[in-house]
Amino acid sequence: MERFRDGAQDAFEDLFARHAGRVQGFLARMVRDGALAEDLLQATFLSVIRSRGRYEPGTRFTPWLMTIAANAARDALRHQRHVDAYASTEDATPPTGLAPDASDPSLRRHLLDALHQLHPDHREAVVLSKVEGWSFDEIGALRGISAGAARLRAHRGYEKLRELLGGLEVAR
């Protein structure tokens, strides 16, 4: 990132190649829409280009990048809530009668539906901790909160998932 900040255009291509897959996966889990995740990926890296002058040398790049991506996802989700509030849509009920096999596509869909129903802050903490493998210290640094607050957000997300999934066990 420091090379890109100093004007090396090929450095941006290296950054994109190295980090785009991880960012896209994170965004897809956050917004549950592949096309929107792709748009947000592009917006994230456009923000990197626009913000390169504000990048401080010595700062870890991945948390900085993921902060930009998380903000883009939150903005998109907030916008979608406003759109949904004014649109007349049918009530989509998650599927029931799930098999306990984790490879079952209907179970996977049910899990994704439950994850999508979490508050965005809780969903972000769950995805970052359980899927991305981030520590609560890293999540706290990303969001500008304490590690304890990040842990609490994840805990509330786990509890809500347990409630939404009924008798299914959610791994901690």
pLDDT at 15 over 90: yes
Q: How many domains does the chain have?
A: 2
| pLDDT value for 172 | 42
Pick 99 or 141 by higher pLDDT. 141
Is the CB of residue 141 less than 8 Å from the CB of residue 63?
yes
| pLDDT value for 68 | 94
Tell me the CATH number at 152. 1.10.10.10
Q: Which of 20-24, 116-120, 132-136 has the highest mean pLDDT?
A: 20-24
| pLDDT value for 114 | 85
Residue 94 domain-assigned (yes or no): no
Residue 130 domain-assigned (yes or no): yes
Tell me the CATH number at 41. 1.10.1740.10
- Written as one letter, the residue type at 24 is Q
Out of 42, 58, 89, a domain closes at 89
DSSP codes joined into one string, 104-155: -HHHHHHHHHHHHTS-HHHHHHHIIIIIS---HHHHHHHHTS-HHHHHHHHH
Would you tell me how many other CB atoms lie within 10 Å of the CB of residue 85? 7
Same-domain status, 18 and 78: yes
Out of 89, 107, 127, a domain closes at 89
Is the CB of residue 77 less than 8 Å from the CB of residue 29?
no
| pLDDT value for 94 | 39
Same-domain status, 66 and 109: no
The length of the chain in residues reads: 172
| pLDDT value for 143 | 84
Out of 26, 58, 89, a domain closes at 89
Is the CB of residue 52 less than 8 Å from the CB of residue 58?
no
Would you tell me how many other CB atoms lie within 10 Å of the CB of residue 83? 9
Residue 143 domain-assigned (yes or no): yes
| pLDDT value for 45 | 96
3-state secondary structure of 72: helix
* 80-132 pLDDT, tens digit each: 775 665 553 334 443 333 334 456 677 778 888 888 888 888 988 888 888 87
> For residue 24, what are the CA distances in angstroms to 32, 69, 70, 91, 131?
11, 9, 11, 28, 13
| Domain membership of residue 132 as a residue range | 99-171
pLDDT band at 166 (very low <50, low <70, confident <90, very high): confident
Task: For 165, list phi and psi in degrees, rounded to 5.
Answer: -90, 0
**Token pair in block for residue 63:** 């948390």
Is the CB of residue 66 less than 8 Å from the CB of residue 41?
no
